[in-house]
Chain A
Amino acid sequence: MIPEIGHFSLILALLLALVQSVLPLIGAQTGNARFLAVARPAARAQFLFVALAYACLVTAFLQNDFSVRNVALNSFSQLPAVYRFTASWGSHEGSMLLWTLILAFWTMAVSVLSRRLPEDMVARVIGIMGLVSVGFLAFLLFTSNPFDRLLPAPPDGRDLNPLLQDPGMVLHPPMLYMGYVGFSVAFAFAIAALLSGKLDAAWARWSRPWTTVAWTFLTMGIALGSWWAYIELGWGGWWFWDPTENASFMPWLAGTALIHSLAVTEKRGVFKSWTVLLAITAFSLSLLGTFLVRSGVLSSVHAFATDPARGAFILGFLAVVIGGSLLLYALRAPTMLGSARFSAFSRESLLLVNNVVLVAALGSVLLGTLYPLFLDALGMGKISVGAPYFNAVFVPLMVPVLFLMAVGPLTRWKGASLPDMVVRLRLAFAVAVVAAVAVPLAAGEFKPWVALGMGLAVWIAYGVALGFTERLKRGGSPWTLPRGFWGMQLAHLSMAIGIVGMALVSGYEGERNVKMAVGDTAQLAGYTFTFKGAEAFEGPNYHAARGHLVVKSESGSEFSLRPEKRLYNAGGMPMTEAGIDYGVLRDVYVAMGEEIEPQVWTIRLFYKPFIGWLWFAAALMSLGGALAASDRRYRIALKDKAAA
């Protein structure tokens, strides 16, 4: 009964989404006020029904209703309740329903927080988001119904993929989707502006907070995914350039470029066409990522059950949404020219360079991700493109972006003096060079990439400090500075912190794969690891061996690590659960391999200097995004709305 209610709610949601898109868009074009007024109620009703459908799916999972195919394939009676809940988005069907739910949520949010906007603009934005909803709801109902029955019902389920049974997985997908789908708001604003021909500073101001919020969620989602991979995969890595990681990283790069470009468009009224194109690109890449992961055209660790009918549907949908948007862009964008002028060295020009290089870096990731597909399509064989390509191409492209990151915020709009900037930053440059030389030497081995990373990190951090001191010299206290300023500076500072982490962990990490019997010791990076044995224990839906290692540092302090090797009852799939001692300056990381003989194990030992700085940087960056999005200017706009 409950699954049928969910199915029926989805059908109603599809009909509402059709109403929500067709009537307001016609109304905006013809000036029909009654059609315009449909937008908000339709969007809210659509959200209610999608939410009801999702609640039905969650209920089916929590009640172990294995007569629902989706539940039978992705859950298990012994699965703990929290993972039965997260299993609701662990499957293809469930994750697409989550996508749709979040899209409906963002649309609902626009309908509530848009009272100060012109009615025709709101109607267009909601209408366009409705069109996207129509596509996803139709996709669910026609190719991926999460409520399909499996009769006769199997006695038990096949279990959720053990990789997904981790606390990191509880938050990672919803965060990621909040980011992915959040770009639909900026996209809808851009298309609405193209349709109406009103592409002005007001449009950029409305788009900015939405874009920043979406970007913040995406940042958190990507960081959680990386943290999950670090803990759960047992390889000690934090980024693999896997196609699915790239699928989330490309919208992030486009979104980062968009945030900067929107700032210029709002403040100076230039780069309008470019900003619109970036808004279309960011959301298109979100859709593209969905296509790449769902259609199975690329093989990836995130492989879901693949089905050519689904791939064909999404591709057709992409062609309509992206192709249609870009056609509209080609037809309408040329009429809008920026009027303001700026000189070759100004904040505008630096932000333009930032944008061009970010987009080039994005292109390099796109090329690397799709290259295997191109070759396969041309019949030139099956290959995979790995980390060496991305590190060789992407990392150097980011160097100019990072270099300009310190300069841009210190440069004035319209035009600035280059000699004056050299004077302001010469001390920063000297300090950065000293750090670039000193840190690798202090670490014991000089590595050029570490030197470059440390130099850039200090350079950016100095730029942030200079930004604060110069701003405060003009009066005010840190507490009166706008949140937008704080947000930008914290986000930039977090890049410096993240670079320190990336450079040092890549340059100086250590790894050993050893065979250990009880009492054996092994050395790594000044730590002595002693294997005390492994004991068997029973988890809720798995049995496991838990190893016990005592680690002694050079200074004599001691701590214990308890890595686990789990065997899940339903699928018999083995999983590692790393034992990690977290620290500010290093993580010590141990993962169990195989039991070769009784109580003799292969064990992987890792020494990970400064890796914690990566997660801290991501948290700080998200805080920066949240501060920027809640800047007073937008809150005033909100208060006015509440008063109206």
Chain B
Amino acid sequence: MNKRLIPLIVFLVLAVFFAIGLTKNPREVPSPFIGKPAPAFRLPEVGNPAKTFGPEEMRGQVWMLNVWAPWCVSCRQEHGVLMQLQAQGVKLVGLNWKDKDREAAALLARLGSPYLSTVEDLDGRVGIDYGVTGTPETFVVDKGGIIRFKQTGPITEEVWKEKLEPMLKELAR
């Protein structure tokens, strides 16, 4: 064999590995919360502190807990998608994370709220219970109150079509 071909062959082998590597995410460390019950909490609702919400109220339904914040630009990005999901009847609960300036209520009034209920996690305690590292993050919770999936980063049309929609259909059965 021509030894001048060796560099090309080495590169092609590398390229195959890169192609496989692209389909994997090195940071996608499986969340330790998947398969565990959604941690309990009781928090006041945004804009209506007299009313509170806890995950046990959603028993028997498949729902999603969306961790967001008014200061988070990628949350603004996914807001449109969430509004569409709400129109399709997807049950979303918002966890308004570390909103120190208390902007959430005004923002939702202006842009519209995709949530059944949005609760206020001012000091981020509940976020810690859920292992939240940043916004947005979304947890899929099944009828039995078990976390089945965690989406890190915004929900885009593709994420919804490819991952979340099939999963929610499966869980709803």
What residues make up the interface of A, taking CB atoms closer than 8 Å to B? 72-73, 150, 154, 157-158, 273, 277, 280-281, 284, 291, 295-299, 303, 306, 308, 311-312, 315, 318-319, 322-323, 326-327, 329-330, 333-334, 370, 372-374, 376-377, 382, 570, 572
Contacts and interface: CB of A to CB of B under 8 A. Distances in A.
Contacts of B25: 296, 306
B172 interface: no
B26 A326 contact: no
Contacts of A326: 7-8, 11
B4 A330 contact: yes
B5 interface: yes
Nearest to B17: A377
Given A72-B73, A299-B27, A376 B21 contact: yes
A280 B7 CA distance: 10
In this complex, which of B27, B73, B98 has the most chain A Cβ atoms within 10 angstroms of its Cβ?
B73
A135 to B, nearest CB: 15
18 contacts: A154-B73, A158-B72, A291-B18, A295-B22, A297-B21, A299-B27, A311-B22, A318-B15, A318-B18, A323-B12, A333-B4, A373-B18, A377-B17, A377-B24, A382-B26, A382-B29, A570-B71, A572-B98
A158 B21 contact: no
Contacts of A158: 71-73
B18 A297 contact: yes
Given A322-B11, A330-B5, A374-B17, A308 B73 contact: no
The prevalent SS among residues of A at the interface is helix
Contact of B15 (A73, A308, A319): A319
Nearest to B124: A572
Interface string B11-40: 110110111111111110100000000000
B76 interface: yes
B73 A370 contact: no
B154 to A, nearest CB: 10
> Which 5 residue pairs across A and B have the least CB separation, nearest first?
A377-B20, A326-B8, A297-B21, A299-B26, A311-B22
A73 B72 CA distance: 9
Contacts, number: 83
B2 interface: yes
Nearest to A72: B73
B26 A329 contact: no
A376 B4 CA distance: 30
A73 B98 CA distance: 19
Contacts of A334: 2, 4
Interface in B57-108: 71-73, 76-77, 98
A593 B72 CA distance: 27
Nearest to B28: A382
Contacts of B71: 158, 570
Contacts of B21: 297-298, 373, 376-377
A315 B12 contact: no
Given A158-B73, A323-B15, A329 B22 contact: no
Given A280-B7, A308-B22, A326-B11, 14 more contacts: A158-B73, A281-B7, A298-B21, A306-B25, A318-B18, A319-B15, A323-B11, A326-B7, A329-B8, A334-B2, A370-B14, A373-B17, A376-B26, A572-B98
Nearest to B27: A299
A335 to B, nearest CB: 10
A614 to B, nearest CB: 30
Nearest to A281: B7
Nearest to B7: A326
A311 B17 CA distance: 13
Contacts of B18: 291, 295, 297, 315, 318, 373
Contacts of B29: 382
Given A273-B4, A319-B15, A377-B20, A297 B73 contact: no
B78 to A, nearest CB: 13
A373 to B, nearest CB: 5
Contact of B8 (A303, A308, A327): A327
B22 A297 contact: yes
A296 B73 contact: no
Contacts of B12: 323
A561 B42 CA distance: 46
Contacts of A277: 7
A374 B19 CA distance: 11
A372 B20 CA distance: 12
Given A308-B22, A376-B24, A377-B21, A330 B73 contact: no
A330 B17 contact: no
Contacts of B19: 315
A326 B15 CA distance: 13
Nearest to B2: A330
Contact of A330 (B8, B23, B98): B8
Nearest to B100: A572
Contacts of A327: 8
A312 B22 contact: yes
Contacts of A370: 14, 17
A322 B7 CA distance: 10
Which of A306, A318, A327, A373: most chain B Cβ within 10 A? A373
Contacts of A298: 21, 26
Contacts of B20: 377
A18 B18 CA distance: 28
Contacts of A322: 11
Given A318-B15, A322-B11, A370-B17, A303 B27 contact: yes
A295 B15 CA distance: 13
B128 to A, nearest CB: 14
A364 to B, nearest CB: 15
A369 to B, nearest CB: 11
A546 to B, nearest CB: 23
A284 B8 CA distance: 12
A382 B21 CA distance: 12
Contact of A329 (B4, B17, B23, B76): B4
